[in-house]
Amino acid sequence: MRKYLFAILLTLLFGLLVVSVVYAQQPTPSDDQVNAIAKQLYCPVCENIPLDVCSTLACAQWRELIRTKLAAGWSEQQIKDYFVEQYGARVLGTPPLRGLNWLVYVVPPVAILAGVYILYRALRAWKQPALVADTQPPPAGMPGETDPAQDEYIARLEEEVRKR
């Protein structure tokens, strides 16, 4: 009986040892996981360069910081919040919907719709025939009087038309 109890105790002790070794070996996040988060953040030092492609030493350190925080169990949102807390909202790839930032999402669609409407109205106006104004020129001088040069021109024009 003692032999079996010793075997069970030894098995449990060995099982705990194996489990503790497995818990001690936390898997390190892959480069794809790190870059998925780094792609959404911009380098606080360089202008308009995503953190995943920036080649500065600071960016390499920040990518390692993301890797460390992922290994510690932080979520993507927690990591983003950490960077915003440290460097401000300018590090985010997409601005948060606070303050005047919401205009970034509203103004472009409104401008596009307004442009489409203006273009539609312009095309409709171009398709409609223009109103034909009175083709006879107003008489020069007093009402009822016609210009003698104009009369002579019309007479010659009518004569040429009759010849044909």
149-158 pLDDT, tens digit per residue, is: 778 888 888 8
Q: Establish if 20 belongs to a structural domain.
A: yes
Task: Out of 73, 94, 115, pick the residue that ends a domain.
Answer: 94
Q: How far apart are CA 100 and CA 132, in angstroms?
A: 51
Q: Which domain holds residue 116?
A: 97-128
Chain centre to alpha carbon of residue 93: 10
Start-to-end Cα distance in the chain? 136
Work out the average pLDDT over 33-38.
88
- pTM score, whole prediction: 0.49
Q: List the single range of 7-16, 22-31, 108-117 with lowest mean pLDDT.
A: 22-31
Confirm whether 152 is domain-assigned.
no
14 burial (CB, 10 Å; 0-12 / 13-18 / 19+) is exposed
Say if residue 45 is in the same domain as residue 112: no
Query: Does residue 17 lie in a domain region?
Result: yes
**Residue type, position 17, single letter:** L
Contact 93, 50 (CB under 8 A): yes
Task: Work out the mean pLDDT of the chain and round it to a whole number.
Answer: 79
Q: Both 108 and 75 in a single domain?
A: no
Total count of domains within the chain: 2
Q: Same domain, yes or no, for 78 and 102?
A: no
44 has a pLDDT exceeding 90: no
